[in-house]
Structure 1
Amino acid sequence: MKYFTLRDEDRRLDSITRADLRGSFVELSDGNTHYELIGPENGPVAVLVGGMTIPLFYWDAFASHLHQRGFRTLAYSTYGRGYSDRPDTRYDEELFVRQLGEITEALGVGEGVHLVGTSMGALIAAGYLDRRASTVATLSLVGPAGLSNTTAGQQKLLRGDALATFVAKRFGRRILLGHLGRNVADPALAVQLTEMIAHCYRFEGSMYAFFSTLRNVPLSGRDQVYRRAASRGIPTLLVWGALDEVTPISGLAGARELLHPERCHVIERCGHMAPYERPQEVADLLAAFAGEHMASDGRQS
């Protein structure tokens, strides 16, 4: 699929627009990445890896609760999301795993981290373990993608370049907004989420990045990825929303069998985006779990 922009993508990410945006930027091998590394200076670091559509500010409330519990957080936007660059490239797991590895190395937070991945971010986090498992203290996955077949037909349909480009240009925004409407159980939060993400899709190349990801990151049949993650022996926490419509909770039993998590929590009356919908509850879970794997002086046990 060739790189394209849409007429309603009326903003461009460059040094001028970045100067007025919140957060910081670091230039990596595939482009500039938007990030925020904040919280107690010497606290244990939680690295927050987002899903298919979300910018780093998705994590704001969750990160704030972690800061209150003594954690430092690194939140960033994957390429094509938020205020990170939209490079003219193939948006696949290799790209996203490389970005995660490079940003943790560039910012010097690559040792003893508490890695948190939600939805597609769980696949990125699992890929990161293939390369840097020794740097990860705990792994927390929320509604992990790849364990159902709900998107298999859609991805097969988009394999052809011409059709994928046509669908993206003609129906892309409708598909995106329809997807966002299924992510959270609370209608008020759904409105806020849509506003947050739609704003970022005004930047050139956003819809291309979204559809390139849909084409090139398999979101079904990924059992082997999670088996490999489990084989690393990293203490794992699994969290799922009981009302998740994107990665249905019917996949929970299979996920437990693949990942062998030390802790598993189902959050009632919660949809796909638990860190966004229930930030305090998920922060409590992560802080308690991470605390079990740290010595009394704050170092990893």
Structure 2
Amino acid sequence: MKFLKKLFWFIVILLVFVAAAGYIIYDHYNVEKKELTYDLRKNSNGSYIELSNGVTHYELDGPDTGKVVVLIHGFSVPYYIWNGTYEYLTEHGFRVLRYDQFGRGFSDRPNVTYNKQLYFEQLNELLDKLHLKKPVSLVGVSFGGEVATDFTAAYPDAVNKVVLIDPGYVAEKPKYPSFVLDFYEATHAEQRALGQMTDFKYPTRHPSWVDQYQPQMEYKGFRRALISTLYNYNYNAREANTALNDKHKQVLLIWGKEDNTVPFKYSDSVRSVLKTEFLPVDDAGHLPYIEQDQIVNPALVTFLKK
């Protein structure tokens, strides 16, 4: 009995030390130390609006009479991912909205479940509060393509045309409990930031990309938002694309032929169930509208003006 009692306390003490060591490591590497405040936001670019689930950071420009186009960013890079395309579309007469989805950029990180309904409510409420005339056209890249696809299927009367740029396809849920993924993300923040460079075929041409990405990681709730999305945004590409096809919308599919994030081969899978115009882009990775802007941006204008 004495041996078992000693063994028990040894295990207890060992677990306490392991937990303490884990916390010290977690706290040391955790970059989320700041809160998003009014003073911080007033010195930033863009505008802010209070929605039901928190403040949303957005930018809206272009003539009031222009056709409304909404740019939806990907999984974790906020609305600056549309730099260039946003300006190009406004210069060509469109009324263009881009915004940070909850948990990203300078939008709030509400402590809620990041599921389809959250993303749908944010977009619907944003359109209503900004008094933007529906139907609008949606342009989504990567995860933003998933949101655009699902949103259009759920609210077809709100959407005119859809543009999918290298849209997400395989959306497998993590195999580990969320707290394990949280620990990993907290202790590998630099890896997530550097990992954004793999979206480019020519990453050296974008030397400031990581520096742009990192500031949002310092605000509490960023990591929780990404992890919650991974676990709770349920997406089945084939079902989603079939549902979109049933709404009979005009769809333009654009894909970088050398995409290593969502491989080009999935473009065939999308087109097997979704009727689209198709623009395969040579010499480009996951963000063809950046790497081959002289090809993609004019194609966007042509499609959206039809």
Which 10-residue stretch deviates more, 57-66 or 126-135?
Answer: 126-135
Residue type of the partner of 1:270? A
Residue type of the partner of 2:253? L
Pairing 1:23–2:46 present: yes
Pairing 1:250–2:265 present: yes
Residue type of the partner of 1:169? A
Q: How does 1:128-207 map to 2 (within 5 A)?
A: 128-146=151-169, 148=170, 152=172, 155-158=173-176, 160-174=177-191, 176-207=192-223
Counting helix residues as a fraction of each chain, which structure ranks higher?
2
Q: 1:181 to 1:11 in 2, by over 3 A?
A: same
CA distance in 2, matches of 1:117, 1:108: 21
In structure 2, which of residues 231, 241, 250 is the aligned counterpart of residue 215 of structure 1? 231
Which SS does the other structure have where 1:98 is aligned? helix
CA distance in 1, matches of 2:182, 2:237: 26
Provide Cα deviations, 1:245-272, integer angstroms capped at 9, x if missing partner. Answer: 11100101111112110x1001111110
In structure 2, which of residues 65, 70, 91 is the aligned counterpart of residue 42 of structure 1? 65
Report the alpha carbon displacement of residue 71 of structure 1 after superposing the two structures with TM.
Answer: 1.1
CA distance in 1, matches of 2:166, 2:265: 11
Report the alpha carbon displacement of residue 173 of structure 1 after superposing the two structures with TM.
Answer: 3.8
CA distance in 1, matches of 2:303, 2:105: 29
Report the alpha carbon displacement of residue 112 of structure 1 after superposing the two structures with TM.
Answer: 2.8
Q: How does 1:1-301 map to 2 (within 5 A)?
A: 7-146=30-169, 148=170, 152=172, 155-158=173-176, 160-174=177-191, 176-218=192-234, 221-261=236-276, 263-292=277-306
CA distance in 2, matches of 1:49, 1:190: 21
Which 10-residue stretch deviates more, 249-258 or 185-194?
Answer: 185-194
CA contact (8 A) 1:126 1:229 kept: yes
CA contact (8 A) 2:178 2:227 kept: no
CA distance in 2, matches of 1:43, 1:84: 26
CA distance in 2, matches of 1:282, 1:45: 19
CA contact (8 A) 1:138 1:235 kept: yes
When Rg is computed on C-alpha atoms for both structures, the one with the higher figure is: 2
Residue type of the partner of 1:139? V
CA contact (8 A) 1:168 1:207 kept: yes
Which SS does the other structure have where 1:73 is aligned? strand
Report the alpha carbon displacement of residue 30 of structure 1 after superposing the two structures with TM.
Answer: 0.9
Q: How many pairs are equivalent? A: 280
Q: TM-score, normalised by structure 2?
A: 0.85
Report the alpha carbon displacement of residue 225 of structure 1 after superposing the two structures with TM.
Answer: 0.9
CA contact (8 A) 1:183 1:271 kept: yes
Report the alpha carbon displacement of residue 172 of structure 1 after superposing the two structures with TM.
Answer: 4.2
CA contact (8 A) 2:174 2:230 kept: no
CA distance in 2, matches of 1:141, 1:18: 30
Residue matched to 2:20: none
CA distance in 2, matches of 1:281, 1:231: 29
Is there any run of 5+ residues in structure 2 with no aligned partner, and where? 1-25
CA distance in 2, matches of 1:110, 1:203: 33
Report the alpha carbon displacement of residue 278 of structure 1 after superposing the two structures with TM.
Answer: 2.9
Q: 1:133 to 1:277 in 2, by over 3 A?
A: same
Report the alpha carbon displacement of residue 113 of structure 1 after superposing the two structures with TM.
Answer: 1.3
Provide Cα deviations, 1:203-257, integer angstroms capped at 9, x if missing partner. Answer: 22212222222222346x4210111011101100000001111110010111111
Residue type of the partner of 2:227? F
Residue type of the partner of 2:303? F
Which 10-residue stretch deviates more, 283-292 or 235-244?
Answer: 283-292
Q: TM-score, normalised by structure 1?
A: 0.87
CA distance in 1, matches of 2:290, 2:223: 23
CA distance in 2, matches of 1:291, 1:182: 32
Which SS does the other structure have where 1:201 is aligned? helix
Is there any run of 5+ residues in structure 1 with no aligned partner, and where? 293-301
